[in-house]
Structure 1
C-alpha cells in the first residue's frame, strides 16, 4: 500500500515538472533566469567587457613616445617630413624650411631638397654619425661652417647643387660622390687640399660655377664635370705629371670642360696620360 501511494505521488510530481518545463511563461528551472533576463544580463556583460578592453591595463606602464620634458623628440620633423626607417624626406616643405631639421639619431639618408635652408652649422649633423647620404639640392645655402661634416665618417654621397656657395667646407674622407653644380664657387673658394684626401671619390660635379682653374683631382675620380665655368688654362700637371712621362690616369673616363674659355688644343701634352680626351673647345 505504501509503495502504491509513493508511486502515485511520484507520477503527480513528474507531471507537474513537465508542465512547468514547457510553459513559456514559467522559469526553466527553479532559481534560474528567464530568456529576457538572460539576454539583458549577457548584453550588460558584453558592454562591461568592451569598456574594460578600451581602458589601458592598470598594471602596465604608458609607453607613449613622450620625453621627460613632455615633448616628442622627433615629432616636429616627422610631421613636416616623411620619416621612414633610416631615411628622412623633407622636400618642398611648407611652411618654408630655413634650417636643417632635427633628425632622428638613426638617420642614414637625408633628402631636404628644394627648401630655403640658408646655412649649415657644425651642430646640425654633430650627433647624426650614421649619415651615409645627404641631398640638399635646390636650397639657398650660402654658408657652411668648416667642421659641419667633420664627424660624418660614414658619409658617401653629398649633394649641395643649386645653392649659393662661394666656398667649400672640409669634406668627409670616405666621400664617393660630391655634387656642387650650379653654385657661385671661384677657385679661391676651393682650398688646394679640399679633394686631395678623398681617396674614394669617384664622381665629382662642379659644373656651372665660376672656377678659373681645375682644382686638384684625386686619383680615383672616374667622372669629372667642369663645364660652364671660367677656366682659362690647363697644363701638363692638371691631369698628368710633368715629372713622370710613364704616368697613366686610367680611372678618369669622363671629363667635361665644354662651356669654358680655355682652348684645349693649345695644350696637347696635357692629356697624354688619359685614355679619353676632355669634352670641350678645341678650335
Structure 2
C-alpha cells in the first residue's frame, strides 16, 4: 500500500499568515474575518488581506473616516463592518467608496451628530445599519435614498427630536426600526 501526504493551501491558511499586528484573522462561516478591537488604531490599517469580508475595528480612536478610507488600503470586499465605540464624529462623503458589497454597518456608540447618508450611497445593498448611541437630533427627508435593500435601522439612544415626514421614503424592505430612548414627541416636520 502506498501512502502520500498532500498539503493543500487553503485561502484561510494563507490569510492567517498575512494578519497584521494587533489583529486576529480567522476563517468563520465561509468568510475571512479580521478583528482588531481596541488596538489603538487611528486609521484603517494597511496590510489587511484584500479578501477580508468581515472587519471589526471597534474600540479604536478613529474619530474620522477620510475619503476612500477602505479603498486606499485595498479593502473592497467587505460585507460587514463594525466601527462601534470609535469616537467617530466625521465621515467623509466618499469614506465607503467601493464598498458595494457592504450589507451590515455598525456605527453605534460614536459621536456622530449628522446622519452619514451621503456616504451610504456607495453601499447599494446595505441591509442593516446601526447608529445607536450617537448624538443625532434630526432624521431628514430622503435620509436613506437609494438604500432600497435596507431592512433594519437602529437609532436608539440618540436624542432624536425630529423625524421629517419622508425620512424613510422608498424603504420597502424595512422590517425593523429602533427608536427607543429618543426625544420624540409625535413631531413630524414637513
Assess same fold via TM > 0.5. Answer: yes
Gapped regions of structure 2 (runs ≥ 5): 1-13
Question: Counterpart in 2 of 1:177?
Answer: 128
1:97 equivalent to 2:31? Answer no
Q: Does 2:58 align with 1:116?
A: no
| Structure number having the greater helix percentage | 1
- Deviation string 1:58-115 (CA, Å, 9 cap, x unpaired) is xxxxxxx9xxxxxxxx96x61110123422100122xx22222223211111011122
- Output the CA distance in 1 between the equivalents of 2:69 and 2:33: 16
Alignment match of 1:206 (pick from 147, 151, 155): 155
Please name the residue that 2:22 is paired with.
80
Matched, 1:163 2:110: yes
1:225 — aligned with what? 178
Aligned to 1:192: 141
Normalising by structure 1, what TM-score? Answer: 0.52
Could you tell me which runs of 5 or more consecutive residues in structure 1 were left unpaired when the two chains were aligned: 1-64, 66-73, 239-283
Q: Any runs of at least 4 consecutive aligned residues in structure 1 with deviations exceeding 6 A, and if so which?
A: none
Return the offset for 1:214: 2.5
- Per residue, is there more strand in 1 or in 2? 2
Structure (1 or 2) with the larger CA radius of gyration: 1
Deviation at 1:177, TM superposition (A): 0.2
Label 1:137 to 1:108 Cα distance change in 2 as closer, same or farther (>3 A): same
Equivalent residue, structure 2, for 1:259: none
Query: Quick check: 1:144–1:168 contact (8 Å CA) kept in 2?
Result: no
How far the C-alpha of 1:234 sits from its partner, in A, is 4.5
Other-structure match for 2:11: none
Instruction: Tell me the TM-score normalized by structure 2.
Output: 0.75
Q: Secondary structure at the match of 1:214?
A: strand
State the aligned residue count.
160
- Which residue does the alignment assign to 2:75? 128
Separation in 2, partners of 1:214, 1:221: 16
Give 1:194 deviation, angstroms. Answer: 2.7
Query: Does the 8 Å CA contact 2:59/2:85 hold for their aligned counterparts?
Result: yes
Within a 5 Å distance, the mapping from 1:128-147 to structure 2 comes to 128-147=75-94
Q: Deviations over 1:221-252 (max 9, x none)?
A: 111111122223256x99xxxxxxxxxxxxxx
